[in-house]
């Protein structure tokens, strides 16, 4: 049994991690921090854990050595204190954006300032097991993933690898939990309720991760739109292929890429309501569902993908990466299939 600590555990991602790790047979969460809530039981902030976890939040200064630390801190915080955290645990999973990019120049381009700990960038492995499984196995440091970037990367990777994709125009619709648990003008209920608001039509920072994983040879543009949903991401991608293909060809490409992936489900039914992926179906899970429809010309492919931004887009991928880092069975603690309806 390994001992885990969660730094910054009062946010949505910290709560999701606590839920997942509590039921992991090889992990015990021994400490979880919050400056604001130090001394209070975790269920005060995460009510779903009432009578499940008896932990109390502790102040970050009270953290003791453990086997693995999950850092769920605001952007730019982890990098400033990474040496301190590395002295407390031999393995770290950082869920912020601080160590996602491998290049200091890319970080400065997309985040507008130099990296606070550039010497650490090449020590972290990007925490997307479907792309970095070999590097994550036995690794000491893993980054988190951007939830929007993860949806794009998983949905488009087979097309890019096949050399078929000429261009893609994507809209990513997201739930309110993507904005975190701190309120702002855009999350105020009278403003957020009923919203269909495109808040990043171009230049989303997660495009840096898309370019890092998929490369920049293929033109991929995406916009992000807030809708009235709490958790989840829905991707709709208009993909233009450089040659006409039949539906069976697309199936072959995607099955070839994802046949062995435990958390990628290919969805393209011909009957029933749920013929294409929906965020509601994957809520609370570590699944990414991917489906498609091919236009009559064989060159216009519409991809649809869905995942939980707090699950596969954050805490789920973090736990999956941790499993690889400790060389546990990769799916351990992540088999929850969600609830329906």
CATH number at residue 7: 3.40.50.720
Residues 111 and 163 in one domain: no
Domain range holding 153? 147-309
Same domain for 113 and 252, yes or no, is: no
pLDDT at position 189: 83
My answer on whether 108 and 256 are in the same domain is no
CATH number of the structural domain spanning residue 233:
3.30.360.10
Same-domain status, 15 and 60? yes
Active site residue 147: yes
32 beta partners: 6, 57
Asked if 218 and 142 touch (Cβ cutoff 8 Å), the reply is: no
**This prediction's pTM:** 0.96
For residues 159 and 304, membership in a common domain is answered with yes
Question: Is residue 272 within 8 Å of 297, Cβ to Cβ?
Answer: no
**Is 293 domain-assigned?**
yes
Query: Facing residues of 219 across strands?
Result: 167
Q: How many CA atoms within 13 Å lie on the side-chain side of 175? A: 21
Burial of 1: CB neighbours in 10 Å, binned 0-12, 13-18, 19+:
exposed
Residue 322 lies in a domain: no
Regarding whether 152 and 51 lie in a shared domain, the answer is no
Q: Is residue 338 part of a domain?
A: no
Residues facing residue 101 across a β-bridge: none
Confidence of residue 53 (pLDDT cuts 50, 70, 90): very high
**63 with 88: CB under 8 angstroms?**
yes
Q: Would 339 be classed as within a structural domain? A: no
Is there a single domain that holds both residue 154 and residue 281?
yes
pLDDT value, residue 72: 97
Written as six digits, the tokens of 276 are: 């294409």
For residue 332, is it within any domain?
no
Distances (CA, A) of 107 to 42, 136, 176, 209, 210: 34, 21, 26, 10, 13
In a domain, 314, yes or no: no
Q: What's 124's DSSP letter?
A: P
Quick one: pLDDT at residue 200?
Answer: 86
Q: Give buried/exposed letters for 65-93 (b at 16+ CB in 10 A, else e).
A: ebbbbbbbbeeebbbeebeebbeebebbb
Compute the distance between CA of residue 232 and CA of residue 127 in angstroms, rounded to an integer.
19
Percent of the chain with pLDDT over 70: 100
Whether residue 151 lies inside any domain: the answer is: yes
Does the structure show a pLDDT above 90 at 195? Answer: no
- What is the per-residue pLDDT across 102-151, written as a single tens digit (0 to 9) for each? 999 999 999 999 999 999 999 999 999 999 999 999 999 999 999 999 99
What's the rounded Cα separation, in Å, for the pair 114 and 102?
Answer: 13
Mark whether 97 and 211 lie in a shared domain.
Answer: no
User: Based on the structure, what is the number of domains in the chain?
Assistant: 2
Q: What is the pLDDT of residue 269?
A: 78
In the β-sheet with 68-71, what is the strand arrangement from edge to edge? 57-58, 27-33, 2-7, 68-71, 91-94, 141-143
Which candidate in 66, 72, 147, 239 is catalytic? 147
Number of H helices, E strands in the chain: 11, 13
- Let me know if residue 139 belongs to a domain: no
Shared-domain flag, residues 112 and 206: no
Distance between first and last Cα of the chain: 35
Q: Which long-range contacts (CB under 8 A, 24 or more apart) does 132-138 make?
A: 133/324, 133/330, 136/321, 136/324, 136/325, 137/324, 137/325, 137/327, 138/324, 138/325, 138/327
Confidence of residue 185 (pLDDT cuts 50, 70, 90): confident
**Are residues 47 and 172 part of one domain?**
no
Residue 80 tokens, joined: 């400033």
Mean pLDDT of all residues in 179-203:
85
- Do 291 and 173 lie in a common domain? yes
| 230 shares a domain with 177 | yes
- Going by C-alpha positions, the residue among 133, 126, 292 that lies closest to residue 213 is 126
């Amino acid at each position: 049994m390994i001992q885990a600590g969660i730094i910054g555990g009062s946010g949505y991602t910290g709560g999701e991690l606590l839920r997942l790790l509590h039921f992991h047979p090889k992990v015990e969460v021994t400490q979880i921090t919050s400056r604001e809530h130090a001394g209070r039981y975790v269920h005060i902030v995460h009510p779903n854990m009432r009578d499940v976890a008896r932990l109390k939040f502790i102040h970050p200064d009270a953290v003791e050595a453990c086997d693995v630390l999950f850092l769920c801190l605001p952007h730019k915080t982890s990098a400033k204190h990474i040496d301190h955290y590395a002295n407390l645990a031999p393995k770290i999973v950082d869920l912020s954006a601080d160590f996602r990019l491998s290049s200091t120049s890319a970080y400065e381009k997309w985040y507008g300032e130099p990296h606070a700990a550039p010497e650490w960038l090449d020590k972290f492995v990007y925490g997307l097991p479907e792309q970095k499984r070999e590097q994550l196995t036995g690794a000491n440091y893993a980054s988190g993933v951007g939830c929007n970037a993860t949806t794009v990367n998983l949905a488009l990777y087979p097309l890019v690898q096949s050399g078929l994709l000429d261009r893609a125009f994507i809209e990513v619709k997201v739930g309110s939990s993507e904005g975190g648990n701190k309120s702002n003008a855009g999350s105020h209920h009278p403003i957020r309720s009923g919203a269909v608001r495109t808040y990043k039509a171009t230049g989303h920072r997660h495009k840096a991760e898309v370019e890092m994983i998929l490369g920049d040879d293929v033109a991929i543009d995406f916009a992000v739109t807030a809708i009235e949903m709490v958790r989840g991401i829905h991707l709709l991608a208009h993909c233009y292929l450089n040659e006409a293909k039949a539906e069976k060809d697309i199936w072959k490409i995607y099955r070839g890429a994802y046949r062995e992936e435990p958390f990628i489900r290919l969805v393209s039914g011909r009957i029933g309501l749920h013929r294409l992926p929906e965020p509601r179906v994957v809520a609370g899970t570590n699944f990414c569902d991917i489906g498609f429809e091919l236009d009559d010309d064989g060159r216009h492919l519409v991809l649809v993908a869905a995942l939980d931004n707090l699950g596969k887009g954050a805490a789920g991928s973090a736990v999956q990466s941790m499993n690889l880092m400790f060389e546990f069975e990769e799916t351990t603690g992540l088999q929850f299939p969600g609830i329906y309806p």
